[in-house]
Chains A and B, each alone.
Chain A
Amino acid sequence: MGANTYLTERERGILESAKVGIAGAGGLGSNVAMLLVRAGMKKLVIADFDTVNESNLNRQFFFRRQLGEKKIDALAANLREIEPDLALELHDVRLTPDNADLVFAGCQIVVEALDSAEAKKMFLHSLLPAGKPIVSAIGLAGWGRSNDIRVRKVGRNLILVGDQMRDVRDGFAPVGVRVGIAAAMQANSVVSLLLGEEP
């Protein structure tokens, strides 16, 4: 029995057998991973090169005792606290145009959960031409204005979450209350796509 006992056998089967990639294990990625495991997913490919630091604790799915640990290792441990029976593929790498589609080659859907605008742009331009669904979050900093965060389908295979406006470079802080909304909308889009519904 998976973590989510509310699902039908069919739904549980789809979510347990699907493999989804998560690019970045920060404010977006760590929370997306947590929500997908709670939803009943078991196969995740997660890539991040960073370590947990104190400034992450305002929004990321880590704990004070994990400061200094590699994010992918700390996240894997936390996900296994929810569901021990997981098939996690962890990549301690900085994603580049040369490795991005190799890292996520076996995934049905990839979640873009990177932080800098340059990394997001690189990732989208590298992976979108391959045609698999990419669930990206752009514009989630600050607080308030919950209703400005939307899900849009762009082109054939981009699901874009966010307000596309509030930029941390313009002084909007990355805060858990709003990053969490975007992460939940990304996870919700993934689950919906896998179950054959509108994201």
Chain B
Amino acid sequence: MKVKYQGKETETGADTVAAFLADNGVNVAEAVVELDGEIVAGDAVAAAALHEGAELNAFRIVAGG
């Protein structure tokens, strides 16, 4: 299916957000994940399904302040 990831259209065989992000090297425990304009809470990422046309963003949480 086609999804939009970080603003770019991408073809994927993953059917969950967690699988897609793992394929793209994102550690979901270290990121804020946004699916279709909503933040997916930490525990819910594992169960969140990906769908055709989904808009997905992941923002890495890094240290510094």
The answer to whether A155 and B62 have CB atoms under 8 Å apart is no
* CB interface residues, A 141-177, toward B, < 8 Å: 141, 152, 154-156, 158, 160, 164-170, 172, 174
Does B60 belong to the interface (CB within 8 Å)?
yes
Chain A residues positioned under 8 Å from B34 (CB to CB): 154-155
CA distance A167 to B32 in the complex (A): 15
Does B42 belong to the interface (CB within 8 Å)?
yes
Does B1 belong to the interface (CB within 8 Å)?
no
CA distance A155 to B57 in the complex (A): 10
Does B25 belong to the interface (CB within 8 Å)?
no
* CB interface residues, A 85-144, toward B, < 8 Å: 113-117, 120-121, 124-125, 128-129, 137-141
With A128-B39, A155-B37, A158-B32 as contacts: A113 and B62 at CB distance below 8 Å: no
CA distance A113 to B63 in the complex (A): 11
Interface residue ranges, B against A (CB under 8 Å): 29-30, 32, 34, 37-39, 41-42, 57, 59-65
Chain A residues positioned under 8 Å from B29 (CB to CB): 121
Interface residue ranges, A against B (CB under 8 Å): 24, 26-29, 113-117, 120-121, 124-125, 128-129, 137-141, 152, 154-156, 158, 160, 164-170, 172, 174, 179
Chain A residues positioned under 8 Å from B61 (CB to CB): 117, 120-121, 124, 138, 164
The answer to whether A168 and B59 have CB atoms under 8 Å apart is no
A115 to chain B, nearest CB (A): 4
A181 to chain B, nearest CB (A): 12
Chain B residues positioned under 8 Å from A174 (CB to CB): 64-65
**Chain A residue nearest in CB terms to B59:** A164
Chain A residues positioned under 8 Å from B64 (CB to CB): 27, 115, 138-141, 166-168, 172, 174, 179
A28 partner, pick from B30, B32, B38, B65, beta carbons under 8 A: B65
A118 to chain B, nearest CB (A): 8
A167 partner, pick from B37, B41, B57, B62, beta carbons under 8 A: B62
Chain A to chain B contacts (Cβ below 8 Å), 15 pairs: A115-B63, A116-B63, A116-B65, A117-B63, A121-B29, A121-B30, A140-B64, A141-B64, A154-B32, A154-B57, A155-B39, A156-B38, A158-B39, A168-B63, A179-B64
